[in-house]
Chains A and B, each alone.
Chain A
Amino acid sequence: MREPMIEPDVMRISWGPQHPMSGQTRVLLDVDGEKVHRIIADLGFTHRGIEKILENRSFFSGIIPVDRMAMVDTANMSIGYVTAIEKAAGLEVPERAKWIRTLVCEMSRINSHLYAFGLQAESTGYFPAVFLWTTVDREVLLDLFEELTGARWSFNHFFPGGVHHDLPDGFADKVLKAVKYLRGRFKDYWDAMVENPLFENRCDGVAILKPKDALKLGATGPVLRGSGIDIDMRREEPYDAYGDLEWEVITEDACDVMARTKVRYHEIGQALNIMEQIAQSIPDGPVKGRVNAFMRVPEGEYISRVEAGRGELGFHLFTNGTGNPYRVKINSPTLRNMYVFERLAELNEVFVADIPVIINSIDPWYLDSDR
């Protein structure tokens, strides 16, 4: 990457890949004392060429790399691709399969937001307690995934036309039990972390992103909803069973890091409500139509947009009548949010000590920004 010139009187720190907290990225900070003048994000460390890989694989085989685009949030990634293929092939998904898909997607969303919560706590120095509690709570969800699909992380449970396995016996009761357990834990998180005076000191008023700037710079997901704008793909273009269930879009008006944390917190609450509704009143029926692992799809151009945990994920699918896609363009939420992150240093006064807090409030997952 060709880096811009360093101005005089400024020190350039590479908050780099060899760092306890940076994740798989490098962020160059132009620092004068404790104040950050400029942020330059250097992405691309985990580029695997998924878009090219998908051109060489059949549609069924292609779901597997797309699953691995975000390990904490796999269901929301693969539902995008599967919905695009279903639009292309004109397939109808049975009702029960749609509800099971929504259940798994919401559990993935809780998984992703819990992980973001834990990282947010770790970035303020609150390392011991909250990050490992979220890991323990995610174990409950991962056990549910294992019981339903057979794998904990990157289950490929969806395919164009339905889901692979039906719910096992007694699964609805287990889901309700897990919901009850998680609701009890969330009270603890609110009291111990979100209302912690020192945590509020670190997070209030930091990195304010006004609504006009959020729309202009292209923020998405909780970053956008933390600035007061309510846009949520599950409501704009309802897919699966989101149109049949009762849930709300969460927005906060404070526009700072604390607002984004609260948006994620309340979204977990909404996801728990959805899980409860699904477990109590899921319709009966088949879960898969006809399965053709070597399906061919008519020629055309199809778009699907879903709401992943991090923001809006888009798949633009070009097909040419064969068993492989011609081109898949993946529109990743993290890439757009990282652009917002770069501009935050111009909009506010940012300290070096704020950088981990801000970057974890944006909740990047570099595997889907680099694909």
Chain B
Amino acid sequence: MNSNSLISGTLANLVQADQFSLMNIPSMVIEFLALNSKPLLQVLLLPGLGFILGFAIFAVWFERKFLARAMLRVGPYYCGGRAGVLQVFADFLKLFMKEIIIPTAIDWPFFVAMPVFLSTIPSLALLLIPFASNWVLWDVGSLSLPMFFAIMGIAPLIPIFSGWASNNKYSFIGAWRVAYMYISGEIPLVICAAGVAIMAGSMDLVKIVEAQQNMWFAVPQFIGFILFFLGIFIESERTPFDIPVAEVELVFGWRTEYSGILFGFTMMAEYVLFQAWTLMFITLYLGGFNGPVLMGMPTASHIFWLLAKFFVLVVFIILLRCVFPRLRMDQMIKLGWKYMTPLALLNLFFVIVMKILGVV
């Protein structure tokens, strides 16, 4: 498979030790690149490092400009031409050069490690999403849907650890608010995903997308569609569900004590989680990479359709930030347990009935 060819290529080159000389290095490199071009492209560009970081930078810039327009002002204006495109780079550079203040009374291994984990662990889950029929970076076959939820299940623990490690009353409140929110919000999502898997007949994400070629799963499972859409907000802590990081009540929730590049990591983590869950939502309910083939290149057009749906959804989610205020914690718990879980079970019931009757 892909990973084997990476290792085999390198080892095969190194084994030819008797022909090893400095003149062979360029040809070794070229052979390495030629054997592993596609995995390298996937790791570096799409859906790997380039896509994640590029989206984070683009989304920060776009959100600031879009919200500024909704607030009747201009966003970043001076840095990098009138559109302010270099502002995000300037901010990241500034954060790198600032001092990371670590108070004495905190638990500093957890404190320093947690933002880094929060930025990288959801990226692992992002690699499971198929961008085309043969463009999956981490191909685990029929375990991909449970693997996504397993990795994303670690995501709530990280703010809880960092909130506890910060030794600060605001962070502590933010930490147990994270616990409450994820407990009540994640169960309906898993049930909805189970419904999708039953309707598609498999837990492999590629097969789920291919089963939606005639009709997107949003249409027969509209309840699950709406619940999973709410789930994007709950899991990535965006307004109207950014309760753990309510800036007007707690100073910055579990992120209060972070400064310097650790703060940059927590900001980036929000966008990585957002990206992962939105792509999963599109894969499960909006047909994934399905779409008419353009210009006779199926792989490229599949990638194009997935990215197009993704950007439309990103704009809509950012717009919803301007429109609705935040929920309170007890309203969120009531929503999760009294409304979302029974509706998710109802959705599952419908799916099973439709499957037994052979309708879909």
Contact = CB atoms under 8 A, between A and B. Distances in A.
Interface of A: 11, 13, 18-21, 31, 34, 121-129, 132-133, 136, 192, 196, 198-199, 201-202, 351-356
Contact of B325 (A18, A31, A202): A202
Interface stretch (B15-23, B183-191, B243-251): B243-251
B226 interface: no
Interface in B309-351: 321-331
A321 to B, nearest CB: 51
Contacts of A123: 248
B38 interface: no
B330 A128 contact: no
Interface string B244-284: 00111111000000000000000000000000000000000
A201 B72 contact: no
B72 A125 contact: no
Q: Which of B243, B246, B330 has the most CB of A within 10 A?
A: B246
**Dominant secondary structure at the B interface:** loop
A20 B247 CA distance: 7
Contact of A198 (B247, B251, B321, B325): B325
B251 A201 contact: no
Given A21-B248, A128-B321, A133-B72, A353 B328 contact: yes
Contacts of B242: 125
A201 B327 contact: yes
B170 interface: yes
Contact of A128 (B67, B246, B249, B327): B67
A183 B324 CA distance: 23
Given A11-B169, A128-B70, A129-B70, A122 B248 contact: yes
* Range of interface residues on B (Cβ < 8 Å): 20 to 34
B173 interface: yes
A133 B67 CA distance: 12
Interface of B: 67, 70-73, 169-170, 173, 239-240, 242-243, 246-251, 321-331
Contacts of B243: 353
B330 A125 contact: no
B72 A126 contact: no
A353 B247 CA distance: 11
A263 B67 CA distance: 29
B331 A201 contact: yes
B160 to A, nearest CB: 16
Q: Which of B243, B247, B328 has the most CB of A within 10 A?
A: B328
A31 B173 CA distance: 10
Given A21-B249, A125-B326, A13 B71 contact: no
Nearest to B169: A13
A6 to B, nearest CB: 13
B326 A124 contact: yes
Given A124-B325, A133-B71, A351-B328, A198 B240 contact: yes
Nearest to A122: B248
Contacts of B331: 201
30 contacts: A13-B169, A13-B170, A19-B251, A20-B248, A20-B251, A21-B247, A21-B249, A122-B248, A125-B239, A125-B242, A125-B326, A126-B324, A126-B326, A127-B248, A128-B67, A128-B70, A129-B71, A129-B322, A129-B323, A132-B72, A133-B71, A196-B325, A198-B240, A198-B324, A201-B327, A202-B327, A351-B330, A352-B249, A353-B329, A354-B328
A356 B72 contact: no
A96 B169 CA distance: 57
A189 B221 CA distance: 36
Nearest to B241: A125
A350 to B, nearest CB: 11
Nearest to A14: B169
Nearest to B326: A125
B248 A356 contact: yes
Contacts of A31: 173
Contacts of B73: 132
A247 to B, nearest CB: 31
Nearest to B332: A353
Contacts of B326: 124-126, 198, 202
Nearest to A203: B325
Q: Which of A125, A201, A355 has the most CB of B within 10 A?
A: A125
B169 A356 contact: no
Q: Which of B322, B326, B327 has the most CB of A within 10 A?
A: B326
A19 B71 CA distance: 23
Contacts of A34: 329-330
A356 B71 contact: no
A198 B242 CA distance: 14
Nearest to A124: B325
